[in-house]
Chains A and B, each alone.
Chain A
Amino acid sequence: MNHERQREILEARVQRLEALREVSLELTSERDLQRLLRLIMKRAGQILGAERSTLYLIEECADPRRGKRRLLVSQVAQGVKEIRLPLDETSIAGTVALKGEIVNLQDAYQDRRFNSSFDRQNRFKTCSMLTAPMRNPQGQVIGVTQVLNKQGAVRFGRGDEEILLAFSSQASIAVENARYLELQRRTFETLITGQAVAIDARDHITAGHTRRVTAFALEIGRALGWKGQDLESLRYGGLLHDQGKLGVPDEILLKPARLSGWEFQVIQSHVQKTKDILNAVRPLFPRKFRKVPEIAASHHEKLDGSGYPDKLRGDAISAGARILAVADIFDAMTALRPYRREDPDDVVVEILKRDADEGRLDSKVVDALVRALPRIVQVREEINEKIQQQRDVRKVTGKQKIHMPVKDSGATD
C-alpha cells in the first residue's frame, strides 16, 4: 500500500471519528430527552451514511386482550408513523431486542425474520440494515437502534457496527438518566404525599392541615414570583412540616379543649422532633432537595428570635421557612378547632400584618399572602371538600372494615 493511499484511509477514519467526537460534545448539552434521541439518530445516520435511522425503546403497553405486554416502540423514526413490534423473531428489531446481539444484513429481504410490511406502508425499499441493542448499566436490553440502506456501499461494515454501538450506548445512558430522574421524582413524591395523608388521618381535629398549609405556601410562593425547584422544595417542606406531630400523644393532640402550658410545650416539641428526623435522613436527600429539611423544621422560628426550637433570627431563617410560618399560622387560625371558633380571614390577616410590623414575620411574605388571598380561599374550599368526601367514603367502607368479625388471629401482632 503506498503512502498516499494509507494517508487517505487515515484521513477518512479521522473524519468519521471527528464527527463522533463532535456528537459526544453536542449530546452533553442537550437536556430534552426526545430532542436528544432525535439528535443521536440523526448524527448516527449521517456518520454511517444511512438513508434512514430508527430508535426503538422497550415499553410496557396495555393490550386489551392480553393485559400488559412489553413492546418495541419507535421513538425516532424518520418519515414514518409510530411503529410497534413484539419482542420476538418476527422482525429484525424484535430479534435484536430478544437476543441482545447486533445484526448486520446486506439484504433484509433475504432474511426470513424481516418484516416488510412497513416498507409497503411507507413506499420504502430496505436493502442493507444494521441493528444494534441498547443496554442499561445493569446489562438489560432497553431498546434497539437501526440504520437502513448504506449509501455508496452494498452493506454496513465492521467499523459501522462499532460506531452504531457507541451511539446506542450514548442513547441508553440518556434514556436511563431520564428514567432514573422520573422514577426518583415519582417515588419521592408519592411517599411524601402519602405520608402527609397518613399524618392528617391521625389528627382528625386539624384534618387537612398539612395539605392546606402546603397549598397556601405554594400560593404565597407564586405571588412572590417563585418557580421550579424552589416551589418544589417549598412544597415538600410543607408536606413534611408536621411529621413530628406523630410523636405527640393522642391525649394532647386530640384534646377538645384549650391546652395547658405543659401540654402546649409538648405540642411545641413536635418541631424539634421533625427536625431530629429530617436531620437524620438529610444526607440521603437528593441534592436538589437538600433545603427541604431546614424549611420544614424552621416553620415556628420568628424573625426577632422569639420562635422555637432554635430561636433563630433574621437571615438565619430561610425564605421557605418564612413562607411556611405565615401559611401555618393562617391555617391554624382560620380553621375550626374544638376549643375555639375559627377567626374570619380578614381578622387573621390583620393579626399577621401586626406580627410583621412588630418584626416577627416577614412583611414581604404577609403582603404576598394578601395578594394571593382569593386563590388561597379557593384552594382551601377545594381541599376541605375533598376531605369531606373522603370522610363520607370512610363512613361507608370503614364500617365494614371495623366491624368485621376477627377470628383465628393466632398470628395476631
Chain B
Amino acid sequence: MDDLAKRVRGLELLLRLGMELYSERDLRNLLNRIWHELTHVLEAERSSLFLVDEETRQLYSIVAQQVGEIRFSLDEGIAGATAATGISLLIPDAYQDPRFNPEIDRRTGFRTRSILSVPLKNQQGEVLGVTQVLNRLDGKPFDEEDRLLLQALASMAAVAIETVQLYEEQKGATEAVISGLLMALEMRDPRGRWHSQEVRAYSREMAEEMGLAEEEVRRIEWAGALHDLGKIAVSDRILAKDAPLSSEEQLEYDNHAVWTLEFLEAMEFSGEMSGVEAIAPYHHKRFEGGGFPPGPPDGKDLPQGSRIIAVTDAFLVRMSSRWGQRPLSQEDSLWWIRQRSGTDFDPAAVESLHRLAPKLEEIRVRVHAAPVRRSGHES
C-alpha cells in the first residue's frame, strides 16, 4: 500500500511538471520546485540537475539543494560517467565506486551514500545534462521504480530545456550573422565604425521609449542595424573623402538607400525580422514628403520605424566628422534635429530623442563595450 501511494505521488509529480511547463515561464524556477518535491517523493536527502556547458566541457548545476552553483569537468565522477555513456546508474554506495569523485562532498560538507543518476537527453539522443538523487533515507539503494520516475521527469525536463536553449541559440545565430556583416561593413567605411550598432541601440531605446510593442521594437532594432547595408556598394572614394561631396558623388552616396532596399529585398525574412525591408531603406525620407529614395512610401505613409531611424541616424551623423564637416556636440546635434522637427523629422521621434538625451552617452558606452553582443535588452 505504501509503495502504491509512493508511486502515485511520483506520477502526480510528473503530471504536475507536464502541466506547469505550460504556464511557467521561468524554467529554472519550475525545475527547482519540482526537484524539491522529488526529493520528498523519493524519500531521499538531496537531488540535483546539471547541464552540459559545451564550451568549457563542464557540467554545472541549475538545481542544487542547499548549495550554490556546482561546476565540474564533464569527465568527473558519477555524473560525468552518466553524461559520457548516456546510461543511468544506480550506485548503492558511492565511496565503493571508483568513478565517484569525493571532491564535491569535501567542498560542500555533504556525505554521499547511495546515488541514482540519470541523463537528460534531447530528441537526437544527445546528452544535455544529468540529474541525480542522493541518499535514500531508509538506507536501501534506489530501485528500478525510482529510476523509472526520474527518467520520465528527466525526459520531460530535457524537452523543455532544449526549447529554451533553441530559443537562445536562434537569437544568437541572427546576432552572429548581423554582427559579422556589420563588422565587414565597417571595414569598408572605417569612419562609420560603430555607426550601425549605435543607430541600432538608439533606435531600440527610442522605439521602447515611445511605447511600441516589443515585437515592433525588435523589428526596428534590426532595421536600425541594417539601414546602411547598401553602403557595401558605394565606392570607398566617396566613403573616405575628406571634403564635401560633389553633386555627382552625392548622388552615388544617396543611392546606398536603394542598395539597402535591394539587398534586403533579396533576403526573405521570417519571424521577428520580417518587415525590416519595409523600414530600413527609408531612413533618408523626409517627414513632410520627399527625400530619397524617391517614390512611395512618402511623408505620412512612412513606417514609424523609418521615422525613428531617420532621427537617430541624422543625430549621430551630425556628431561625427565626415566630408570635412566639423562634428557637433550632443547639444548642438539635438538642436540641429529639433530645428527640422515637422519638416525633415517626425516631431514625435524628435521629442523622444530629447527625452532620452540624459541616457544617450551611457548607451553609446554600452555599445562600444560589446561589439558583438547578444540581442535584446537584458544583456
Residue numbers of A with Cβ under 8 A of B are 7, 10-11, 13-14, 17-18, 20-21, 24-25, 27-31, 134-135, 137-139, 162-163, 165-170, 172-174, 176-177, 180-181, 183-184, 186-188, 190-195, 197-199, 201-202, 240, 243-244, 246-247, 249-250, 273, 276-278, 280-287, 289, 401-413
Contacts and interface: CB of A to CB of B under 8 A. Distances in A.
B180 interface: yes
B183 A201 contact: no
A187 B167 contact: no
Contacts of A273: 184, 187
**Residue from A165, A176, A406 whose CB has the most chain B CB atoms within 10 Å:** A406
Nearest to A276: B183
Interface stretch (B12-20, B32-40, B95-103, B105-113): B12-20
Contacts of A162: 15, 19
Contacts of A406: 250-251, 254, 292, 294
Contact of A177 (B163, B188, B371): B163
Contacts of B344: 410-411
A89 B19 CA distance: 25
B278 interface: no
Nearest to B170: A184
Given A172-B22, A173-B21, A411-B340, A277 B183 contact: yes
Contacts of B159: 27-28, 170, 173-174, 177
B121 A183 contact: no
Contacts of A30: 123
A250 B237 contact: yes
B179 A401 contact: no
Contacts of B236: 249-250
Contacts of A167: 18
28 contacts: A7-B1, A13-B8, A17-B12, A18-B11, A24-B156, A29-B123, A31-B124, A169-B18, A169-B22, A174-B159, A177-B162, A180-B166, A184-B173, A186-B271, A187-B269, A188-B173, A191-B178, A192-B177, A246-B232, A277-B180, A280-B179, A283-B172, A285-B173, A401-B258, A406-B251, A409-B250, A411-B286, A411-B314
A25 B22 contact: no
B270 A187 contact: yes
A176 B161 CA distance: 12
Interface of chain B, helix or strand or loop or mixed? helix
Given A21-B148, A28-B121, A407 B15 contact: no
Given A28-B121, A194-B267, A406-B250, A17 B169 contact: no
Q: Which 8 A-B pairs have the closest CB atoms?
A: A247-B187, A17-B11, A166-B18, A169-B22, A194-B267, A284-B176, A413-B317, A284-B172
Contact of B183 (A240, A280, A283, A413): A280
Contacts of B176: 281-282, 284-285
Nearest to B295: A404
Interface in B204-234: 229, 232-233
B50 interface: no
B187 A246 contact: yes
**Residue from A135, A170, A191, A283 whose CB has the most chain B CB atoms within 10 Å:** A191
Given A20-B11, A188-B174, A246 B123 contact: no
Contact of B152 (A10, A25, A193, A281): A25
A366 B22 CA distance: 53
A180 B5 CA distance: 40
Nearest to A273: B187
Interface string B277-320: 00000001110001111100000000000000010011001100
**Residue from B1, B156, B258, B294 whose CB has the most chain A CB atoms within 10 Å:** B156
Interface in B262-280: 263-264, 266-271, 273
B4 A284 contact: no
Given A14-B4, A25-B152, A202-B232, A243 B291 contact: no
B254 A286 contact: no
Nearest to A13: B8
A191 B55 contact: no
B125 to A, nearest CB: 8
Given A177-B166, A184-B170, A280-B183, A413 B23 contact: no
B78 interface: no
A404 B292 CA distance: 9
A214 to B, nearest CB: 16
Contacts of A170: 18, 21, 156, 159
Contact of A25 (B151, B180, B290): B151
